[in-house]
A and B are shown apart, each in its own frame.
Chain A
Amino acid sequence: MKQITKIFKTFNFSKEEQEQNQMILDMVYELAMNEIIEKEQDWDEEGAHFDPATKQVSYPSGMMDLYKKCQENDLFAIIVPEKYDGFGLSYTLWTAVIELMARASLAFSMFFPSQSLSIEIINNHGTAQAKEKYLPLLSSGDAIGAMAFSEPNAGSDISAVTTKAELEGNSYYLTGNKIWLSHGGAAGTNIGLAVTDKSKGPRGLSAFVIDPEIAGDGYEVVRIEEKMGLHGSITAQVALDRAEVPKENLLGNENEGLRLVLGSLASSRIGIAAQSAGIAETALQESINYANQRVQFGRPIGKHQAISFMLADMATQVHQARLLYLNTARMKDNGENTQIESSIAKYYATEAAQKVTYDAVQIHGGYGYSREYRVERLFRDARVLTIYEGTSEMQKTIISRGTQARAE
């Protein structure tokens, strides 16, 4: 916590804001480190559930109780504008909350980045009716926000989506298959991307708020993924079969959905960088504790230079990851375009999380390979970070193109 606080002090927050930030982070730290972390192993073992008979999904035992505590403590309202029952606080604070949650459980922290992305997209591009309806629900957490972009043949290249949206009367009807949907089936809002004008290719896509309550049977979970890590988080495949989306749930203009979505991902990438700093911080702390206590060749292994230097590298990478995400978030608060910086933060921090969790297993030796030790889970969980929200390769593409264009 001290590390985050020290960095916050370098930012241009007023005294009152500093105090608010500190109190909120103290509360989140307590919730994360006293309660959420306690459950993390159970959630990994139990995993999320899908009942093929009823098509219902559910989170592992106890996860929703803690989600409820986040609701009671108003956490989802942090960045929501005051007009929509939020507090209009900074994205910097929000991302620090994500880091603390990810320190306790990456699976649990999955509730946060997609919530803020939903809030931001609807607030920036939603119709007045959509804002009135969904922002208060997302702010209270009564609606979980999800992203329905990926499809079997549209991953890194989301312009390749084939789900089609047909306008009939006052509603669009969406048909297609969405995969990898975090919170799919549990979410109250799904930001979806679909084809509205096939002849225009990538310029013929539109973004929508898919509301499962309105879509009814048209929105159905087909299965959930069995994953390497992140077991506690629902990752669903969803079939859309003439899923109704009222016209007022169109985001931005028709056929401008791709730009809208790609532009918004810069924000959520800062959140993924924050998740990475969080999981890496825990891997570092676990490693320090273990290295001080495990004795080989007559002294704690942390006193052997090879291990102590590993710890130094880990600490350096965690610090860099944290500086990157917090600094980028602050830039965003200042109204800057952070397209390139967000990708740099996401790329660096997620790769650092790979190295740090890998080394954490190494420091634990054979015990690190055992399910009894937390680092085994951290290593599996962290692996997804360089993949979702744009792979490292895609981030490098953005960074390279962006910096070259900037130079011209």
Chain B
Amino acid sequence: MNIIVFIKATIDRNAPLGPDETFPGDRDDKADVMTNNYDKHAIEAALQIVEKKGDGKVTAVCLGSDMADKVVKEAIAMGCHEAFRIENSEARVINFFSVAKILAAAIKKIGTYDLILFGMQSYDYGTATMAPMVSEFLDLPTASWVERISLNGDKINVEKVIEGGTRTIELQLPAVLSIASSGDFEEPRYTSVRRIMKASRTKVPVWEIDKLEAGALDTNVEFTKIEQPPARMEECVVFKDDDVPVLIDNLLSALKDKGLNLGAYK
């Protein structure tokens, strides 16, 4: 079982925002970076699968500047067998569409793989688009927000989060998954001193974007602006009635009037 996990270097969550900043994602590459916390769940999933299967290899891949070496080494310190970085100094490529193309090209270059894992979203931009886009470029089946995985020959069964519950689906391998931060992989393992020592002695291989045959990296997605949604004023309504069923009815119809989808409630 060969698993590729993609990990992103995002801004250190503990770094305070500057006075003119509204969004930490703007500062990628300028301040301290850390592993996107959602990606640690993907690493956990990969390691659990390989441990359960008793054979296989987990390769972590990060597109980032040399500041992201730290993130690559953390992946090794968590237990990934191999890791490398795709050089993206001065944040040359940041639009998601092109990033997905580069990652897909890197997967092709790696060649042998059964599973490709992502975190469910990134801590900074949070678009949750990378896994589906990469699966499209590679023409592979995909499932997002996966909480549980069971192997089934050349197929896998996964439980993925949907609104109000989970859905179980079967996918043909190789497949692309994004891993939820809940479920079986909710608690990513820590690094350990032993693996940190190993990681610090590892030289992180660096791949060049230009050698990946990713195709044209222009984009039809334009990133124009990030804004905070305007603050809204809502009035507070208190429902009062001694008869509880009546009280519930009043509450639900008020919610329905507000446009909330209440399913079976008419």
Chain A contact residues, majority secondary structure: helix
A73 touches B192 (CB 8 A): yes
Which of A19, A30, A77 is packed against the most chain B CB atoms within 10 Å?
A: A19
Is the CB of A283 closer than 8 A to any CB of chain B? no
B14 touches A27 (CB 8 A): no
Contacts of A1 in B (CB 8 A): 14
What is the 8 Å Cβ interface bit string for chain B, positions 198-237, against chain A (1 contact, 0 not)? 0111000000000000000000000000000000000000
B193 touches A74 (CB 8 A): yes
How close is B73's CB to chain A, nearest CB, in angstroms? 7
Is the CB of A31 closer than 8 A to any CB of chain B? yes
B194 touches A74 (CB 8 A): yes
B190 touches A31 (CB 8 A): yes
Residue of chain A at shortest CB distance from B201: A16
Is the CB of A179 closer than 8 A to any CB of chain B? no
Contacts of B191 in A (CB 8 A): 23-24, 26-27, 73
Is the CB of B50 closer than 8 A to any CB of chain A? no
- Chain A's interface size range is 20 to 34
What is the 8 Å Cβ interface bit string for chain B, positions 172-205, against chain A (1 contact, 0 not)? 0000000000000000001111101101110000
B196 touches A23 (CB 8 A): yes
What is the 8 Å Cβ interface bit string for chain B, positions 65-85, against chain A (1 contact, 0 not)? 000001001100100000000
Chain B contact residues, majority secondary structure: helix
Residue of chain A at shortest CB distance from B195: A74
A23 touches B77 (CB 8 A): yes
Residue of chain A at shortest CB distance from B32: A2
Contacts of B201 in A (CB 8 A): 16
Contacts of A2 in B (CB 8 A): 14
User: What CA separation (Å) do A73 and B201 show in the bound complex?
Assistant: 18
Which of B70, B196, B197 is packed against the most chain A CB atoms within 10 Å?
A: B196
A73 touches B200 (CB 8 A): no
Contacts of B70 in A (CB 8 A): 19, 23
B193 touches A16 (CB 8 A): no
Contacts of A27 in B (CB 8 A): 77, 190-192, 196
How close is B187's CB to chain A, nearest CB, in angstroms? 10
B77 touches A69 (CB 8 A): no
Is the CB of A258 closer than 8 A to any CB of chain B? no
Contacts of A19 in B (CB 8 A): 70, 73, 200
A23 touches B190 (CB 8 A): no
A24 touches B14 (CB 8 A): no
Is the CB of A195 closer than 8 A to any CB of chain B? no
Is the CB of A314 closer than 8 A to any CB of chain B? no
B190 touches A20 (CB 8 A): no
Is the CB of A78 closer than 8 A to any CB of chain B? yes
Is the CB of A63 closer than 8 A to any CB of chain B? no
How close is B202's CB to chain A, nearest CB, in angstroms? 11
Contacts of A24 in B (CB 8 A): 191, 193, 196
Given contacts A1-B14, A23-B73, A23-B74, contact A69 B190 (CB under 8 A): yes
User: What CA separation (Å) do A20 and B200 show in the bound complex?
Assistant: 6
A30 touches B190 (CB 8 A): yes
Is the CB of A87 closer than 8 A to any CB of chain B? yes
Is the CB of A226 closer than 8 A to any CB of chain B? no
How close is A210's CB to chain B, nearest CB, in angstroms? 28
B190 touches A87 (CB 8 A): no
A87 touches B200 (CB 8 A): no
User: What CA separation (Å) do A31 and B193 show in the bound complex?
Assistant: 13
8 Å CB interface, A79-102 against B: 87, 89
A20 touches B14 (CB 8 A): no
The 9 closest A-B pairs by CB, nearest first: A74-B193, A73-B192, A23-B196, A27-B191, A20-B200, A74-B192, A74-B194, A19-B200, A73-B190
Q: What would be 18 A-B contacts, judged by CB atoms less than 8 Å apart?
A: A19-B73, A20-B197, A20-B200, A23-B70, A23-B77, A23-B196, A23-B199, A24-B191, A26-B191, A27-B192, A30-B190, A31-B190, A69-B190, A73-B190, A74-B192, A87-B194, A87-B197, A89-B193
Known: A24-B191, A26-B191. 20 other contacts (CB 8 A): A16-B200, A19-B70, A19-B200, A20-B196, A20-B197, A23-B73, A23-B74, A23-B77, A23-B196, A23-B199, A26-B74, A27-B77, A27-B190, A30-B190, A31-B190, A72-B192, A73-B193, A74-B193, A74-B194, A75-B193
